[in-house]
C-alpha cells in the first residue's frame, strides 16, 4: 500500500515539474487587455504564446508578439519593421525602404472609415522616440497595434529590442467562439 502512494507522489511531482518547465520555457498563456489589436484580437481573448520560436529564430514581419513594455506590463502588437529597414507611413500607406507594403489585416478597418479619415497617421522611423538612425538597428523591431488610432506602440515606445520579446502569439483558446490559430 505504501509503495502505491510513493509511486503516485512521484508521478504527481514529475507532472508538476513538466508543467512548470513547459510554462516557463516553452509556452505561456496571455490575456489581451484593451482594444489596441482590434479587430484581430479582442479585449479578454486568451492566447497561447510560443516562447521557442524566437529562441531559435527571429521575428518575421506581421508576427503578433508579446513583449515587456514595462517591468510590470506586457503588450501585444504586430511586428512591422525589421532590422536594416526604413519604415514610414504616408497617406495611410505603409512603406518599407520606400516600397508600399499591403497590410491585409487592416482592410476591414480601413473600409469602415469615413471620407478623409485615416487609420494610421503619417510617421517616419526618424520621428520615433529614441531613434537616431535611418534604419532599424540589429536586434530591434518596430511594432504597431492593428487598431492604429488607439494603440500604444513603437510610435510612443520607440523600437523594441529582441530581449524584451516574450514570444509569438499563436493561438486563441478562449472565448470558445473565437478559437483559432493566428497567422
| Helix H or strand E segment including 91 | none
CA distance 143 to 108: 20
Within 10 Å of residue 19's Cβ, how many Cβ atoms?
A: 10
Which positions are catalytic? 36, 77
CA dist list (Å): 44 to 38, 75, 145, 172: 12, 13, 16, 10
Task: Give Cα separations from 80 to 28, 45, 74, 136 (angstroms).
Answer: 23, 22, 18, 11
- Count CB-CB contacts under 10 A for residue 179: 12
Amino acid at each position: 500500500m505504501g509503495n502505491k502512494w510513493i509511486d503516485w507522489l512521484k508521478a504527481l511531482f514529475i507532472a508538476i515539474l513538466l508543467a512548470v518547465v513547459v510554462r516557463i520555457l516553452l509556452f505561456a498563456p496571455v490575456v489581451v487587455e484593451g482594444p489596441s489589436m482590434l479587430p484581430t484580437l479582442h479585449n479578454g481573448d486568451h492566447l497561447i504564446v510560443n516562447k521557442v520560436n524566437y529562441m531559435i529564430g527571429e521575428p518575421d514581419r506581421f508576427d503578433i508578439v508579446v513583449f515587456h513594455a514595462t517591468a510590470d506590463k506586457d503588450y501585444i502588437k504586430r511586428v512591422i519593421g525589421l532590422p536594416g529597414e526604413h519604415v514610414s507611413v504616408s497617406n495611410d500607406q505603409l512603406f518599407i525602404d520606400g516600397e508600399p507594403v499591403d497590410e491585409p489585416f487592416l482592410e476591414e478597418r480601413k473600409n469602415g472609415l469615413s471620407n478623409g479619415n485615416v487609420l494610421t497617421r503619417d510617421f517616419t522611423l526618424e520621428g520615433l522616440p529614441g531613434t537616431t538612425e535611418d534604419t532599424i538597428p540589429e536586434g530591434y523591431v518596430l511594432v504597431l497595434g492593428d487598431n492604429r488610432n488607439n494603440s500604444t506602440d513603437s510610435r510612443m515606445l520607440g523600437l523594441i529590442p529582441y530581449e524584451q520579446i516574450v514570444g509569438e502569439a499563436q493561438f486563441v483558446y478562449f472565448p470558445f467562439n473565437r478559437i483559432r490559430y493566428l497567422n
